[in-house]
Structure 1
Amino acid sequence: MITCHVESFTEMLAELKTLLPLHYEELALDKKHVPLSPQYDIYRQHEESGKLLFVTLREAGEMIGYFIGMVSPGLHYSTCLTCIMDIFYVRKDKRMGTAGIRLFRFVEKELRRRGVQRWFMGSKIHADASALFKRIGARPVEIFYSKWLGD
């Protein structure tokens, strides 16, 4: 049985660290230049201030996925409580079926409970999750581009 939970980022960090390298290996670009090196202290600060939403996806108690988002008034729209997705991941061997849909429907329910009015989520072009987002009623609004400027 797959379940979703709002949990403490700080308390679950050790377990989260077991999935982050899988996420990085599968989706990160420019790996030869940019190693996986999260700023855990910043995540903790956001959690302490109430801005971080950390949702886990579990099967038989084991973390198999997660969603991390930042909740705060929009920088351009101060009257609109907004969630901007940081990252999400579902372990590759658990993607058949409804795990991703369950995760995002749970996140939506939690965002509504918190009074969030707008939710932004993103997808890597090379690992497109647009079908998932469209299935939960989201629409495409922006495309980001990346260009490596380092050596």
Structure 2
Amino acid sequence: MITFHIERFVDVYAEMYPLLVEHYEEISQHREHGVPLDPQVDVYQSRENAGNLLMVIARDAGRIVGYFIGIVAPALHYKSCLSCSPDIFYVQREYRRDGTAAAMFGHVEKELRRRGVKVWMVGSKHAHNVTQLFEHLSFEPFEITYAKWIGED
């Protein structure tokens, strides 16, 4: 049975790091450009200490099988609008067709509502499209983000 928990970065980072590596190896476009996985642990800790980090962890029999990390803070242009901006989310392959992702996002939404968040942004990589999941969860297209690699590979 999959369970979902709001967990602290400082408590779970070492345990979830192998899943971050798996995530990086599977879909990172940064990897394709020679950029190594190198999380800014101190920044995550600082945001957590400030109360701006949300982590929902999916577990199967205690083992981490997915995660959602978001930044909760007032929008820069709308200080009265508490927002959740995406950092990263991942669900292991074997849990992708059983509703785990939708259930995890449901737990995220419940926590965001509890915190008083007004708008929740998520993103889908073009090469790894999950818009079907987001539309199922009643997200609406809001903005298209483009990227251009301009540094040397």
1:27-38 matches, within 5 Å, as 27-31=27-31, 32-38=33-39
**Consecutive unaligned residues in structure 1, runs of 5 or more:** none
Residue 64 of structure 1: aligned partner: 65
**Consecutive unaligned residues in structure 2, runs of 5 or more:** none
Greater mean alpha carbon deviation, residues 50-59 or residues 92-101: 92-101
When the two structures are superposed, what TM-score results if normalisation uses the length of structure 2? 0.96
- Indicate the RMSD between aligned Cα atoms, in angstroms: 0.8
Residue 110 of structure 2: aligned partner: 109
User: Offset of 1:144 from its aligned partner?
Assistant: 1.1
1:1-151 matches, within 5 Å, as 1-31=1-31, 32-151=33-152
User: Offset of 1:77 from its aligned partner?
Assistant: 0.7
Amino acid at match of 1:9: F
User: Offset of 1:64 from its aligned partner?
Assistant: 0.2
Amino acid at match of 1:22: E
User: Offset of 1:27 from its aligned partner?
Assistant: 1.1
When the two structures are superposed, what TM-score results if normalisation uses the length of structure 1? 0.97
Q: Deviations over 1:13-71 (max 9, x none)?
A: 11110100110011111424211111011000000000000110011110000000000
Distance 1:15 1:7 in 2: 12
Secondary structure at the aligned position of 1:83 is classed as strand
Structure 1 segments, 4+ long, off by >3 Å, are none
The alignment-based identity, stated in percent, is 48
Secondary structure at the aligned position of 2:29 is classed as coil
Amino acid at match of 1:130: T
